[in-house]
Amino acid sequence: MDPTSALLALRGLLGSVSWQRVGLRGCTADGLRLVVAGAGPSLDYMLRRTGVDWRVEPLPPASMGRLAECLADRAGMADLVLARLPRRAARRVGGRALLRLPELVDARLAVPPEGEGWPRGRAARSVRSNLRRIENSGLSWTFETDARLFQRFYSEMYLPLARAQFGESSVPRSAASLRLRFRRGGLQLVWRGRELVAAQLVELAPQEVHCVAIGAPGDGAAARATGALAATTFFAVELARRCGRPFVNLGGSLPSLSDPVLQSKRLWGAALVERGRADHELLLGWRRWNPAVAGFLADLAPVVRLSGGLGAVVVPREEETGDSARRRLAAAGLDTLLLLERGSDGPTAAELLERLETGS
């Protein structure tokens, strides 16, 4: 077993220990009451998706062995329960009463054969627009594996762009973790003439080129204006053709169809796929359907792990029709997309899970 696999196995084993303590907090805002278990950037993102300022109250922690009972008790006093747990524990705690969300979902793009265009439809229109920008900017690319380039990419391009894009909520990956991925691939450098305007770290897997991290000088404004950031996707497809890989993995996104990062990948025609190396999951549940629950789901449009793949829940925004919401959020790779109306007789989380599993 390689060191990374051994570490993941150890973390999974420790995460399932029944005596492990899990932090709890209560979050309230605009009439919505949440009980949140665990911690991590993905949980913070879920809360920010609502666009409100939460009042946070610490709650007594619970042991992993009693967490399911504790959440069931707390659910009676809250509109929603939201948790981030090790994957094995999430399976046990969630049971059939809570929705299990992958912490990250990958977006995989099938590489069009040489000489063939992109698929028709919305994705193709977006791609054509990006290609025009790339051609007009005179961009080109090279692929480099020189280890001396990695530190420059990390400190001068990756970190500045991550902080510019996500501000205080940015959680950059460590240099050590990215260096490991670099050794399995390299850097795809994007040039405008002799000027380096963007770069992407990619891993060369047996069946795909995996886009791991992207960077650009400064705040990335010049790279966006010239189309250099969009060009990294197109050039990754060219690299995949050159290396004989049938797919490009555009990387992970949080499990929300409304997430702007995930939406940008969908516009290239990418399909959602499960991430195999995830060691945590999110849990989401409610006992009673009400306007607050409907509004939270409308903001989030969560991607849910099912026994046979992935599903999603879509609730229209206010003044939006169901058909419009479906068109706006539909994504390839989903086994089921369940559309719910905002009425007062919606399902419980357990009922919704059953409908997702049966496709009814």
Give pLDDT tens digits for 148-186: 999 999 999 999 998 887 776 677 899 999 999 999 999
* Mean of pLDDT values over 203-223: 93
Same domain for 200 and 58: no
* Mean of pLDDT values over 314-338: 92
- Among the three residues 253, 272, 291, which one is the final residue of a domain in this structure? 272
What CA–CA distance (Å, rounded) separates 314 from 332? 15
Identify the burial level of 136 via C-beta atoms within 10 angstroms of its C-beta, where 0-12 means exposed, 13-18 middle and 19 or more buried: exposed
Query: How much of the chain, in percent, has pLDDT values that exceed 90?
Result: 52
- Would you state the structure tokens that stand for residue 10, as one six-digit string? 């150890």
Same domain for 163 and 33: no
- Among the three residues 226, 241, 272, which one is the final residue of a domain in this structure? 272
> Quick check: 177 and 3 in contact, CB under 8 A?
no
Confidence (pLDDT) at 115:
67
Confidence (pLDDT) at 200:
98
Confidence (pLDDT) at 8:
43
Confidence (pLDDT) at 76:
75
Same domain for 120 and 53: no
**Greatest mean pLDDT among 20-24, 104-108, 166-170, 355-359:** 104-108
Give the domain extent around 341.
Answer: 3-103+278-358
- Among the three residues 224, 239, 272, which one is the final residue of a domain in this structure? 272
* Mean of pLDDT values over 291-302: 91
Confidence (pLDDT) at 19:
55
Give the chain's length. 360
Confidence (pLDDT) at 225:
84
Same domain for 263 and 139: yes
Higher pLDDT, 123 or 315: 315
Confidence (pLDDT) at 120:
53
Q: In the structure, what pLDDT confidence band is assigned to residue 85 with cuts at 50, 70 and 90?
A: very high
Same domain for 313 and 283: yes
Is residue 273 pLDDT above 60, yes or no?
yes
What CA–CA distance (Å, rounded) separates 47 from 154? 29
Same domain for 293 and 255: no
What are the helix and strand counts (H, E) for the chain?
14, 16
Give how many domains the chain has, as a whole number: 2
Among 44-58, 76-90, 117-131, 142-156, the minimum mean pLDDT is found in: 117-131
Confidence (pLDDT) at 41:
85
Confidence (pLDDT) at 45:
81
Q: In the structure, what pLDDT confidence band is assigned to residue 271 with cuts at 50, 70 and 90?
A: very high
Taking the C-alpha atoms of 299, 301, 305 and 306 in order, what is their torsion angle to the nearest 10 degrees? 130
Confidence (pLDDT) at 319:
86
Strand order in the sheet with 336-339: 303-306, 309-314, 336-339
* Mean of pLDDT values over 108-119: 78
> Quick check: 197 and 217 in contact, CB under 8 A?
yes
Contacts with 360 (C-beta within 8 Å, 6 or more apart), sequence order? none
Q: In the structure, what pLDDT confidence band is assigned to residue 302 with cuts at 50, 70 and 90?
A: very high
Same domain for 297 and 283: yes
- Kindly report the CATH number assigned to the domain that includes residue 183: 3.40.630.30
- Would you state the structure tokens that stand for residue 80, as one six-digit string? 């929603």
* Mean of pLDDT values over 73-79: 81
Same domain for 113 and 261: yes
Confidence (pLDDT) at 3:
42
Is residue 52 pLDDT above 80, yes or no?
no
> Quick check: 215 and 199 in contact, CB under 8 A?
yes
Q: In the structure, what pLDDT confidence band is assigned to residue 18 with cuts at 50, 70 and 90?
A: low
Same domain for 184 and 243: yes
Same domain for 263 and 159: yes
Same domain for 206 and 80: no
Query: How much of the chain, in percent, has pLDDT values that exceed 70?
Result: 90
Is residue 220 pLDDT above 70, yes or no?
yes
Considering the chain, what is the average pLDDT of its residues?
86
Place of tokens 């058909």: 323
Is residue 126 pLDDT above 90, yes or no?
no
Confidence (pLDDT) at 143:
97
